[in-house]
Amino acid sequence: MGKLTFFTAIKKAVEKVTAKLWTKNAVTFLIFFILATLFWLMQAIGTKKDLTIDIPVKYKGIPNNFIIYNDLAPHISVTIKDDGRELLSYYWFGRPDSLVIDLSDKFKPNGGTISFPVKQLRNEIYATLPKSAQISSLIPEFIQINYDQLAEKTLPVQLQGSYSLAPQYILSDSISIIPAKVKVFGAQIVLDSLTHVNAKPFDKPNLISNTTFSENLEPINTVVFEQEKVDITIPVEITTEKSMEISITPINFPKGITLRTFPATVTATFSVGISKFSNVNAKDIFVSLDYNEVIKKSCIKYPLQVNSTNPDIRNLRISPSEVETLLEKDE
C-alpha cells in the first residue's frame, strides 16, 4: 500500500507541472517560435553562403621501390559559394566520396620532392557541383611528397606449415608456390641479410583433393614486398594398387655359372596415384638375387632384393620374397 501511495503522489506531481507548463501562453509562444525558425531557414537557404567540406584523398601510382618520408594529406578542404538551398543538397547528396591523385611517372631515381598543385583537381570537383556554385578556396594549395628510391632484391618464398592426407591419398606432384620468388624493396644493408621470405604458417589436415589457397607473406620490418600474398597448391589424389610379373635378375654371378630360380618370376604389388597408373611398367622395378648372398650360406631359399627408381611407385612388395635356386656350370 505504501508503494502505491508513493507512485500515485509522483503521478499527481507530474500532472500538475504539465498543466502549468502547457498553458495558452506557452502554446502561443511555441507556435511563434516554430514560425520564426521556418522564416529564418527560408531566408538562409535563399541567400549566398559559403560551405567548407573535407573530401578524402586517395593516392595511386606510387611505385613499390620508393619510400615516402612525410605523411600525405588525408583530405582536401574545399570552400564552395552558392545558394543555401543548393549547398544543402550538395552536402547531403552531391559531394564525392573521395578524390584521386595520380602520381604515375612523377617519381625519379635517386629521390626528391614532388609538389602536386591541388588546383589540378578543380575540374574533377566542379563536375560534382551545381552549375551555380563557385570554388572559393582549396586547402592545401600544394601537396608535398618527399621520397627516395629503395634497393631491390628477388627472394625465394619458403613455406611454413603442415598438412596431412586422408588414408589412401598421396601427393600427385610437388607442392607449388606462385610466385615462387618475390621482389622486395628496402635499404641495401637490410636486403643483404635476407636469403628468403616466409609465407605465414598454415594447417591443412586430412586432404582428399587438390587444394589451392592464398597465404600472406610474413612482414619484415622496413622491407616492402612487391606483393603480399602467394598462392599455394597441394596436389592430392587417391591411390590404387597395381600388380605385374617381374623377372629375377642375377647380379655379381661369375662367368660360367647360370642361375635358375624357382619360380622364375615374382609378382610385384604396389600403390600408385590414379593419374600415373598407366605410366608405370615392369622396367621401373628391379628384382635381383646377389651371388654373394648365395655362396655365403647354404639355404633352401634365398631372399630377393627389390627396388624402384620411379618415385610414383609406393609401398612396393613382392611375392614370393624368397626363391629356391639352382646353380649350373656352363660346359
Q: The CATH number of the domain where 95 resides is what? A: 2.170.120.30
pLDDT at 20: 57
Q: Name the strand (E) or helix (H) holding 68.
A: strand 66-68
- Stretch 1-8: mean pLDDT: 51
222 and 281 housed in the same domain:
no
Domain interval for residue 227:
151-234
The pLDDT tens digits for 111-133 are 889 999 999 988 888 887 777 77
- Stretch 160-173: mean pLDDT: 93
Which residues, in sequence order, are CB contacts of 105 under 8 Å at separation 6+?
61
The confidence band for 33, taking pLDDT boundaries of 50, 70 and 90, is low
170 and 230 housed in the same domain:
yes
122 and 160 housed in the same domain:
no
What is d(CA 59, CA 74) in angstroms, rounded to the nearest whole number?
Answer: 10
pLDDT at 2: 46
Provide the mean pLDDT of the chain: 85
On whether residue 226 sits in a domain, the answer given is yes
Any idea what the CATH number is for the domain that residue 173 is in? 2.170.120.40
CA atoms within a 13 Å half-sphere pointing along the CA-CB vector of 297: 6
Whether residue 1 is predicted with pLDDT greater than 50 in this model: the reply is no
The confidence band for 304, taking pLDDT boundaries of 50, 70 and 90, is very high
61 and 74 housed in the same domain:
yes
| Residues 129 and 96: beta-carbon distance below 8 Å | no
Residue 276's region, left for phi above 0, alpha for psi from -120 to 50, else beta, is alpha
Whether residue 179 is predicted with pLDDT greater than 70 in this model: the reply is yes
| Residues 231 and 187: beta-carbon distance below 8 Å | no
On whether residue 15 sits in a domain, the answer given is no
166 and 102 housed in the same domain:
no
Q: Which of 199, 234, 269 is the last residue of a domain?
A: 234
223 and 246 housed in the same domain:
no
What is the model's pTM? 0.59
Q: Which of 118, 149, 180 is the last residue of a domain?
A: 149
76 and 128 housed in the same domain:
yes
Comparing 297 with 286, the larger pLDDT belongs to: 286
Q: Which of 211, 234, 257 is the last residue of a domain?
A: 234
Whether residue 45 is predicted with pLDDT greater than 60 in this model: the reply is no
- Stretch 96-113: mean pLDDT: 87
On whether residue 194 sits in a domain, the answer given is yes
Comparing 154 with 39, the larger pLDDT belongs to: 154
pLDDT at 194: 95
The confidence band for 3, taking pLDDT boundaries of 50, 70 and 90, is very low
Least confident of 2-16, 22-36, 58-72, 94-108: 2-16
